[in-house]
Amino acid sequence: MAIDARKPASNADVRRLKILDAAARQFDEVGYHNTSMNAIAAASGIRKPTLYHYFTSKTEILLGVHDVLIDHMLEMHQEVADSSDLTPSQKIYEIIRDILSLQITHRGYVKAYVENTGELTTEMRRDVNRRRRRYQDLLRQVLQSGIDGGQFRETNAELTAIAIFGMVNWGYQWYGRGDYLPLETVATHFHDLVMSGLSPR
């Protein structure tokens, strides 16, 4: 499911998502700090006063970019975590693959999510970090289920989840721009590395 297939409830939601898409592209191409509200308005095909009708500041736009990505990842990975048809190993592969796929299709969203959280206000960060934790807990729970079921060796599920996210999340810096290996090739390689460390000894 693509981020832009979230079934917005109104024309205003459609316009807001269009603005967020344009802003995310600008953040990817020139960086958050080098992106102005004028540039976002121009990239969105609207006038600056219209932009301020939907978002009062660039920080609010950045929060919207975070919200869209986190909402999507929560929905996507909750479905994976809840699946009774997948083993814990298969669930980890699907999570890795999905994160990598977003680095191809929504690089600007991922870049802002990884690099620019510190630009949000304290209150915004508190809410974003709470929802990030929910998202991270999904992978931790998958790992713990594999440990409890004997598919994985005894290890710290929390630290293992952090290690997996650390390996995959920063892939946008080299993956998804220009020539790159097929998605399944990269996902399989990363998955194999993880499984070699989790296999019972």
CATH for 43? 1.10.357.10
The whole-model pTM stands at 0.87
pLDDT at 59 over 90: yes
For 65-123, the pLDDT digits (tens) are 999 999 999 998 999 999 999 999 999 999 999 999 998 889 999 999 999 999 999 99
Q: How far apart are CA 46 and CA 15, in angstroms?
A: 10
In sequence order, which ranges of 83-182 are alpha helices (DSSP H)?
88-105, 107-115, 122-148, 157-169
Burial of 69 (0-12, 13-18, 19+ CB in 10 A): buried
Secondary structure element (H or E) that encloses residue 8, with its range: none
Domains identified in the chain, total number? 1
The domain of 98 spans: 3-198
Could you tell me the two tokens for 44?
A: 């969105």
> Would you state the pLDDT for residue 9?
62
Could you tell me the two tokens for 92?
A: 């980890």
- Residue 181 DSSP one-character state: -
- Percentage of the chain surpassing pLDDT 90? 80
pLDDT at 185 over 80: yes
Q: In which band, very low, low, confident or very high, does the pLDDT at 3 lie, cut at 50, 70 and 90?
A: very low
For 28-49, the pLDDT digits (tens) are 999 999 999 999 999 999 999 9
